[in-house]
Structure 1
């Protein structure tokens, strides 16, 4: 596991949300999250902002497997569509993949599932920039 991926996993926000592991291979990322009290809204369902956040994190993690040490990726645009709710205790899975990578921009998508049901999708555009 790369140092950069370990830093993503150990980010205090991600730890607070319940992320314990992130897979990153061949431009694909994966996060499995059990819905806990830190990620639900007042109605007791998964907060939409968590879907947004972890869809972006999952996309970045997958992209990390393709980036060299001198390149960083920052979110340029993200569109998230939430289709159904997830409840406390549910286990959801975020899976991302690179759709197209250019020299300075990359297009990715993340699908969020609960069992076999898709609960959300995200389209993410990241700008590729030199590391400082």
Structure 2
């Protein structure tokens, strides 16, 4: 189902980005005019582990958010999506001070599921790849 209200997508994306965790990680749209195009965030603050590289938990949160944003245009205004499975492979460390680009692609949408692939890169270097399954649920008033 294609969402027929782009302003609704933008508003819902803004609310997802307004969650305190996303603020703490300094996540922001790679393209402010298209919040589904990907996210940028720096390897600083909460995104750094004790070894001085990108914290896997911080990375996972942004990979999951990017997957949600990629699915968002396919959700009706009465639907929401929640993660019920995520599998991530970390392939290269993100280093302090680097900026990570996270993008996601909707592979398939069924009535109640969305299957997505999310990737994190620093420049040409692949940092991580995730397979994300989202359950599509009805929003209850």
Fold match (TM-score > 0.5): yes
Between structures 1 and 2, the one with greater strand share: 1
Q: Is the 8 A contact 1:32 1:94 kept in 2?
A: yes
Unaligned runs of 5+ in 2: 1-6
Unaligned runs of 5+ in 1: none
Aligned mates of 2:119, 2:28 — CA distance in 1: 19
SS in 1 for 2:28: coil
Measured on the aligned residues, the alpha-carbon RMSD in Å equals 1.6
- Residue 50 of structure 1: aligned partner: 58
Does residue 99 of the first structure (1) align with residue 107 of the second (2)? Answer: yes
30-39 vs 121-130, greater mean Cα deviation: 30-39
Q: Which of 104, 109, 115 is the aligned partner of 2:123?
A: 115
Between structures 1 and 2, the one with greater helix share: 2
TM-score normalised by length of structure 2: 0.86
Does residue 31 of the first structure (1) align with residue 56 of the second (2)? Answer: no
Q: Which of 12, 26, 42 is the aligned partner of 1:18?
A: 26
Aligned mates of 1:86, 1:7 — CA distance in 2: 27
TM-score normalised by length of structure 1: 0.92
Q: How many residue pairs are counted as aligned between the two chains? A: 130
Where in structure 2 are the equivalents of 1:42-81 lying within 5 Å? 42-81=50-89
